[in-house]
């Protein structure tokens, strides 16, 4: 099969390296800048604990129009970059092709399959380009895998990663199993689930309690994990997200170990949260998908979420400051 990784940065580069190393499918990547040049020259390398996976994609480009139609396009762009890429993703897909959105936060396709008006999700899809072009060609993916580009073409990750795959409407399908098989053929733990929204809320809870705090404090995760004041704040934020999820129909109560999430003993976690990496690199931030939609849903359902609201306001201010500095 022809598989394209659309956005071969930290997350996409991880997937591409392992899929290329397995050699089971024709892999193409879309990347840019020094990362693209490194991929063309040396391929990709991902280290996971004691494991090292190295592979070179058959095609690497910054122009999707140069690629032939793809059976599967795994999109690993940040949420704020997706609307501008909607047309090129649609064009890249073969007639029966599938776009897999491996992204953080509440996804743009959130309304699909819910008992709500079937409309685009503002502000993640402000012009409805993603909804109109891709809603019936889409699978969702929740990523449990910390990744960081430590130099162009070289990615550091952690063992025990997990990639949860699901249909937006919660159905079981042949195409869902087909994509899970692609992951598993490379030794990647890609698991099909009929309740992807549970996974989205669980990962959102982690992200809301980690990424904005890391971006605002600029502290690496190990130092945050040792600060009792930050730990208390993170737990309070995660509790608010638990309440929002419950109001939206997903019950996380009794299934969350806040202590383990804030001071993990069972997993190594990442050294620098992804949003901190973006701040340090001067990249745009995905706070709207992670915090903005959560706060909006809290307001719709009458859930009190003052700490999430405060974090969102501060993140919007930080984003504005970074835009002025760029």
Compute the distance between CA of residue 257 and CA of residue 20 in angstroms, rounded to an integer: 36
Q: Is 293 exposed, middle or buried (0-12, 13-18, 19+ CB in 10 A)?
A: buried
Q: For residue 80, give every residue at least 6 positions away whose Cβ sits within 8 Å of its Cβ, in sequence order, or none.
A: 284, 285, 286, 288, 289
Q: Which of 137, 203, 226, 255 is catalytic?
A: 203
Compute the distance between CA of residue 321 and CA of residue 324 in angstroms, rounded to an integer: 5
Compute the distance between CA of residue 247 and CA of residue 268 in angstroms, rounded to an integer: 32
203 is an active site residue: yes
Contact 7, 77 (CB under 8 A): yes
Q: Which residues are registered as beta bridge partners of 277?
A: none
Q: Which residues are registered as beta bridge partners of 165?
A: 141, 192
Q: Is 108 exposed, middle or buried (0-12, 13-18, 19+ CB in 10 A)?
A: buried
Compute the distance between CA of residue 2 and CA of residue 298 in angstroms, rounded to an integer: 41
Q: Which residues are catalytic?
A: 203
């Amino acid at each position: 099969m022809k598989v394209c990784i659309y956005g071969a940065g930290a997350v996409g580069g991880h997937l591409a390296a392992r899929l290329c190393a397995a050699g089971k499918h024709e892999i193409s990547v879309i990347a840019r800048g020094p990362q693209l040049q490194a991929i063309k020259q040396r391929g990709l390398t991902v280290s996971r604990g004691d494991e090292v996976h190295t592979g070179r994609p058959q095609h690497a480009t910054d122009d999707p129009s140069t690629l032939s139609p793809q059976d599967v396009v795994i999109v690993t762009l940040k949420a704020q970059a997706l609307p501008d890429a909607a047309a090129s993703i649609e064009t890249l897909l073969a007639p029966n092709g599938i776009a897999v959105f491996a992204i953080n936060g509440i996804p743009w396709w959130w309304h699909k399959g819910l008992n709500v008006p079937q409309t685009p999700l503002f502000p993640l899809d402000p012009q409805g380009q993603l909804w109109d072009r891709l809603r019936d060609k889409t699978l969702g993916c929740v990523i449990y895998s910390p990744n960081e580009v430590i130099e162009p073409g070289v990615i550091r990750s952690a063992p025990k990663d997990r990639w949860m795959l699901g249909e937006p409407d919660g159905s079981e399908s042949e195409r869902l199993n087909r994509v899970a098989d692609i992951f598993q053929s490379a030794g990647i733990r890609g698991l099909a689930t009929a309740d992807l929204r549970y996974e989205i809320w669980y990962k959102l809870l982690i992200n809301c309690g980690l990424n904005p705090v890391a971006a605002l404090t600029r502290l690496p995760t190990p130092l945050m994990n040792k600060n009792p004041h930050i730990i208390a704040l993170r737990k309070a934020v995660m509790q608010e997200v638990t309440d929002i999820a419950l109001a939206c129909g997903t019950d996380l109560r009794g299934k969350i170990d806040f202590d383990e999430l804030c001071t993990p003993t069972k997993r190594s976690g990442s050294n620098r949260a992804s949003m901190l990496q973006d701040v340090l690199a001067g990249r745009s931030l995905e706070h709207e998908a992670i915090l903005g939609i959560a706060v909006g849903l809290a307001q719709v359902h009458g859930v009190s979420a003052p700490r999430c609201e405060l974090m969102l306001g501060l993140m919007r201010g930080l984003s504005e400051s970074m835009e002025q500095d760029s």
